[in-house]
Structure 1
Amino acid sequence: MRRRLINSTLAVVLVVIAVFGVSLVIVETRTISNSAQESVDSEALRLVSVIEAKVLERERVDGGALAEQIGPERFARIDIPGSPPVEIGPRPDGSVIRGIATGEQGETVVVEESRSTVTREVGRTLMIIGAVALLAVVAAVLLAVRQANKLASPLTDLAETAERLGSGDPRPRHKRYGVPELDRVADVLDSSAERIARMLTAERRLAADASHQLRTPLTALSMRLEEISVTDDPDTVKEEATIALTQVERLTDVVQRLLTNARDPRTGSAVAFDLDEVVKQQIEEWRPAYRSAGRAIVCSGKQPLRAVGTPGAVAQVLAALIENSLMHGGGTVALRSRVTGNQAVVEVTDEGPGVPADLGARIFERTISGRNSTGIGLAVARDLAEADGGRLELLQQQPAVFALFLSREAKPRKKAEPEHTVR
């Protein structure tokens, strides 16, 4: 592209120089020739006037005295009736420019100049025109190179940016070139890079959330299936299969919820549900794991309690808190339900060392963990709670007390009793 821009600019300049240069040469050649002819004619008229004055005064016409009246490279011939012709200067060879003037007394003056002087003048003019044309070509080449670099370099940068986007590097460059059209392309590429970066971040986040949130349900499901495989009691098989089916349903709900949050974290499907049932279900599901660890999990508080939210999401939030207490806490884990204002609250606490002081304000950030864990569970739990219009908070660091706040179900108004008319 750079070479094509230079060649096209140079071609335009050469055409312009050819058109105007040839015209200028023709005009200048005619001007110089006409000027030389007019000069010779003028000199002949002047010389004949001098001679005429001498003839009238009956003075002798001396060629030596008249030599100063003509140019050094010119020849003059003076013819006076009754006198021999007088010649001044060397006679030129070849083609000449001739000027003739005649006086009132019959005097004739012929002035000649070699045409080579005109040719030399035309040559000097052509050299000047050629030098100007050469300077114009050099200036055009420099300007073309500058413009080609100004246009080609941004296009090269934009091509590199597009190649980086295609190779998976979505970092915007925020580089502009001072050309509106190219800056517009750069704006579009930067916007595309930002969108691709957000999409890649959302995909990585979805993959991390899914792997974290599905690990525990799959482990529990695997334990149920192992129980089924080692027992011959039909009642036990039926009970374990029922529990496994329930866990599969919750697993499906987890996947759907993660996909929904990946598309739009604000999207929710909140409904009124029995919060006590979700708490009890989580305790039953996690009791074997706590029993294996030599620990206990209990619940207490206000019952019955109904809240507004997504049961599957609330179950995942509580599961994240219970798993966090199992991994990082100690002693008995207690789930306590209470009411504050128009909100239902479920607190999860244990008897462990609590949350380190330096992590208290950042415990819900991704990749933040007090031990060698992913640091994703609490962040996902907070996102799930906020998607349902609730919130997840750390009320106390030592011992750790986490609280899930949900909106309570609005109590239906009592219908007014019909009035009885006594007749």
Structure 2
Amino acid sequence: MRRRLINSTLAVVLVVIAVFGVSLVIVETRTITSSAHDRIEAEAVGLVGAVESRLLDKQPVDAGALAEQLDPGRYARIQIPGQPPVEVGDPVSGGVIRGSARGEHGLSVVVEESRSTVTREVGRTMAVVGAVALLAVVAAVLLAVRQANRLASPLTDLAETAERLGSGDPRPRHKRYGVPELDRVADVLDASAERIGRMLTAERRLAADASHQLRTPLTALSMRLEEITVTEDLATVREEATIALTQVERLTDVVERLLTNSRDPRTGSAVSFDLDEVVKQQVEEWRPAYRSAGRAIVRSGKHGLRAVGTPGAVAQVLATLVENALMHGGGTVALRTRVTGNQAVIEVTDEGPGVPADLGNRIFERAISGRNSTGIGLAVARDLAEADGGRLELLQGQPPVFALFLSRTAPEPPQQHPETVR
């Protein structure tokens, strides 16, 4: 591209120089030749006047007396009627420029000058025009190179940006070049890079969230299946299988919610549900794991509460808190329900060391963990809580008290059937 820009610019400049340069040389040649003729004609007229003046004064007309009237290198021939011709200067050989003038009583003067004088002057003019043309060509080449670099270098940068974008590096460069068209392309590439970066971040986040959120229900499901394999009591098998099916349904709900949030995190599916059922489900699911660890999980507080949210999401938030209490806490884990204002609150607490003081509410940030874990669980739990208008907070660090706040709905009054009037 650089070569094409330089060649095209140089071709334009050469055409312009050829057209105007040739025209200028022709005009200057004619001007110089015409000026030489005018000077010789003027000199011939001057000699006629000088000769007539000498004739009136009865002075001799000879070459010596008229030599001062003629420029060096010129030749003049004066013809006076009845007298021999008078020649001033040396005759000019070769091409000449001739001028003549006539006076009274048949007086005539012819002045000649060598054409080489005009040729030299034309040559000097052509040399000046050629020098100017050469300078114009050099300047055009320099400007063409600069313009080519100005246009080609941004295109090279844009090609490198597109290549980086295609190789999986979505960082925008935010580099502009002062050329509107190229800046527009750069804007589009930067916008595409930002979109691809957001998509990659969402994909990585989905993978991390899925691996973390699916692990908890899969672990609980695995424990239920283990309970089934070690028991021969048909009633116990039936009970454990029923709980396992419930966990499979919750696992399916988790997967659907993950996919929904990956498409649009703002999409919620909040409904009014029985909070006791979700709390009871979590206590029953995690009791075998706590029993195996020599610990207990209990529930307390106000019963008969209804809240607004997604039951599967609320169950997943509670499962995350209960699992964290099992892995990082100690003693008995308690799930307590209470009411504050128009909100239903579920508190999860244990008797362990709690959250380090230097973490505080940063415990909900991704990659923040006080126990060498992934640091994803609480962040995902907070996102799930906020997706349906709730919130998850750390009310107390030591011992730890996590609280899930949900909008509360009043219990539906029993329907009164109108009496039938007979």
> What TM-score range do you get, normalising by the shorter chain?
over 0.9
Partner of 2:161: 161
Deviation, structure 1 residue 261 = 1.7
CA distance in 2: counterparts of 1:319 and 1:27, whole angstroms: 98
CA contact (8 A) 1:296 1:333 kept: yes
CA distance in 2, matches of 1:137, 1:227: 93
* Structure 2 residue aligned with 1:332: 332
Task: Rate the CA distance shift 1:410–1:92 in 2: closer, same or farther, 3 A.
Answer: farther
In structure 2, how many angstroms separate the alpha carbons of the residues matched to 1:335 and 1:367? 26
Equivalent AA in structure 1 for residue 283 of structure 2: I
The residue type equivalent to 1:126 in the other structure is M
Distance in 1 of aligned mates of 2:20 and 2:294: 102
Q: Which structure 2 residue ranges, 5 or more long, are not aligned?
A: none
Q: In the TM superposition, what is the alpha-carbon distance from 1:411 to its structure 2 partner?
A: 4.4
Q: Distance in 1 between matches of 2:333 and 2:228?
A: 28
- Give the root-mean-square deviation of aligned CA atoms: 1.9
List aligned pairs for 1:232-251, cutoff 5 A: 233-251=233-251
Which residue of the partner structure matches residue 38 of structure 2?
38
> Does the C-alpha gap of structure 1 residues 231 and 416 become closer, same or farther in structure 2, counting only changes over 3 Å?
closer
Secondary structure of the 2:359 match is helix
Aligned to 2:372: 372
Structure 2 Cα separation of the partners of residues 262 and 419 of structure 1: 52
For structure 1, which segment, 260-269 or 381-390, has the greater mean C-alpha deviation from structure 2 after superposition?
260-269
Which residue of 2 is the match for residue 100 of structure 1? Answer: 100
Q: 1:38 Cα shift?
A: 1.1
Q: What's the CA shift string for 1:156-202, capped at 9, x where partnerless? A: 11111111111111111111111111111111111111111111111
Q: Secondary structure at the match of 1:407?
A: strand
- Aligned counterpart, 2:6: 6
Q: Distance in 1 between matches of 2:265 and 2:184?
A: 32
Displacement after TM superposition at 1:233 (Å)? 4.8
| Cα pair 2:73 2:113 within 8 Å, conserved | yes
Supply the distance in 2 between the matched residues of 1:96 and 1:158 (Cα, whole angstroms).
Answer: 68
Contact residue 52 and residue 105 of structure 1 kept, 8 A: no
Corresponding residue of 1:282:
282
Distance in 2 between the 1:206 and 1:417 partners?
50
Cα distance change of structure 1 residues 386 and 221 upon mapping to structure 2, 3 Å threshold? same
Q: Which moved more, 1:243-252 or 1:10-19?
A: 243-252
Out of 130-139 and 212-221, give the one that drifted further: 212-221
Deviation readout 1:120-143 (Å, 9 max, x if unpaired): 011000000000001111111111
Between 1:275-284 and 1:222-231, the stretch displaced more is 222-231
Residue 149 (str. 1) matches residue 149 (str. 2): yes
- For the 8 Å contact 2:306–2:410, the answer to whether it is kept is no
Partner of 1:202: 202
Aligned to 1:393: 393
Question: TM-score, normalised on structure 2?
Answer: 0.96
C-alpha displacement of 1:219: 2.1
Report the equivalent of 2:84.
84
Q: Kindly provide the amino acid, as one letter, of the partner of residue 72 in structure 2.
A: P
- Supply the distance in 2 between the matched residues of 1:77 and 1:114 (Cα, whole angstroms): 15
Aligned to 1:53: 53
- Structure 1 residue 84 displacement after superposition: 1.7
> Aligned letter for 2:157?
D
Q: Give how far 1:230 is off.
A: 5.0
Deviation larger for 308-317 or 181-190: 181-190
Question: C-alpha separation between the residues in 1 aligned to 2:18 and 2:313?
Answer: 82
TM-fit CA distance, 1:291: 1.1
Q: Give yes or no for contact 1:355–1:397 (8 Å, CA) kept in 2.
A: yes
Q: Deviations over 1:383-404 (max 9, x none)?
A: 0000011000000011000000
8 Å contact kept, 1:66–1:88: yes
Q: 1:293 to 1:230 in 2, by over 3 A?
A: closer
User: Residue type matched to 1:74 in 2?
Assistant: R
Distance 1:20 1:168 in 2: 55
Residue pair 2:330, 2:351 contacting (<8 A) in 1 also: yes
Aligned amino acid, residue 385 of structure 2? A
AA partner of residue 134 (structure 1): L
After superposition, residues 10-21 of structure 1 pair within 5 angstroms as 10-21=10-21
Q: Distance in 1 between matches of 2:227 and 2:55?
A: 151
Bigger drift between 39-48 and 51-60 goes to 51-60
Q: Against the structure 1 CA distance between its residues 37 and 413, is the aligned structure 2 distance closer, same or farther, given a 3 Å change threshold?
A: farther
> Partner of 2:316 in structure 1?
316
| Matching residue of 1:262 | 262
Where does the alignment leave 5 or more consecutive residues of structure 1 unmatched? none
Partner Cα separation in structure 1 for residue 62 and residue 416 of structure 2:
149
CA apart distance, 1:220? 2.2
Percent of residue pairs bearing the same amino acid type:
82
Give the whole-Å Cα distance in 1 for the aligned partners of 2:338 and 2:244.
Answer: 30
Give the letter aligned to residue 271 of structure 2: V
3-state DSSP of counterpart to 2:380: helix
CA distance in 2, matches of 1:368, 1:161: 34
Within 5 Å, give how 1:354-373 maps onto structure 2. Answer: 354-373=354-373
The total of aligned residue pairs comes to 421
- With 82-91 and 237-246 compared, the bigger mean Cα shift is at 237-246
Amino acid paired to 1:326: L
CA distance in 1, matches of 2:360, 2:384: 20
Letter in 2 for 1:123: G
Deviation string for 1:58-112 (max 9, x for gaps)? 2101211211111111111111112221111111111100111111121111100
Structure 2: how far apart are the matches of 1:169 and 1:420?
A: 75
